[in-house]
Structure 1
């Protein structure tokens, strides 16, 4: 029963690209009287396909505050998953700003070892690997090889964290306040060191304090927290 003497708690609706972690459009605020029904439409967006919703799209305004996320995927992406491979090529490599995106930087010489963080398969069955925060390459089976381990590990892996630090560009962050920024109700791994052993996982929205930013020779950024855990910078946003 609708009670027009009072309003229910508002509902925020977010339209989120689940793969690249950005809002497709500004969130929408729904308001209504206590007990009044609401219905959330699923809009269509160019170059996006709807995937799922975090909660029911119909209900009644009540005392509960809600945030409802509508998740979308790039229309030309078939799948997106974490990758743990290494990749080496027998010919120069062109990097791109995103799968099926624009070429960036000059071509890199062959025989460079890349660590892969994500794999995207597009609807035309091309495979793309993310090798730094904003760099992707298209897999060519004729000139590229995927490896389970870095073949040069025995030669280049530092023996101590101090040795590893010597190979990093390090920026002090003076205990900057930040939070895990991924997908609601999902988690990201924390490591004992850069490319180290996984310690545990932190949930989206968890508040953390940052001590340092570390950038490796491939341009991948990591954060060291006040608890001396290490998190890929892709999943962290510094609070404004």
Structure 2
């Protein structure tokens, strides 16, 4: 919204609109799906200050900058435990949702310790939303563009990681204008030296336990070795998963 408001302010400064007209529009109550911004743009079009094509371009640019903004309005559990896994399965139906029923014949000891299954490869999916931690307001109002997340050195936080219980991790980074993907094996995760304890409980919070549950905070630059394009996620999981289970 910041970029759109700056553009509207620029248009108003270069228009013939008086301060009284602008103030009157801004004072009027706006209810969804209308807004003060759309009302001002409609008024500028009515005066011939902008064309419909210019209005459409503003709309297109706004949609491109905010195509994933709705994900910042999701409840944490829905986003973290449901959306990411379902999104990956929509991209690649080859991934099988890990349930006792689905894995009864191939992995009868399954007990909910990973999310997806792919030809013997156990996969855990995690997602993190990039947002400013230095400002107040709703999560959506603090959502970062990809360039903002990178330039500020935002640290993506992935938690409840159990490298002993899966072969490959798929991590999703959500910015309001794009999605980022990182694929890494459980061995690669351990080698980063970034995995720390969450101290969730006495059974999984210490490194000497058989099932260690930890978390990482990593910048995009630190995650770069594991970056994959969306269309290459499946191949990356196969490559890293097969090398892990063939050892």
Same fold (TM over 0.5): no
Q: Which has the higher strand share?
A: 1
TM-score, L = length of structure 2: 0.23
Q: Which has the higher helix share?
A: 2
TM-score, L = length of structure 1: 0.24
Q: Which has the higher contact order (CA 8 A, sep 6+)?
A: 2
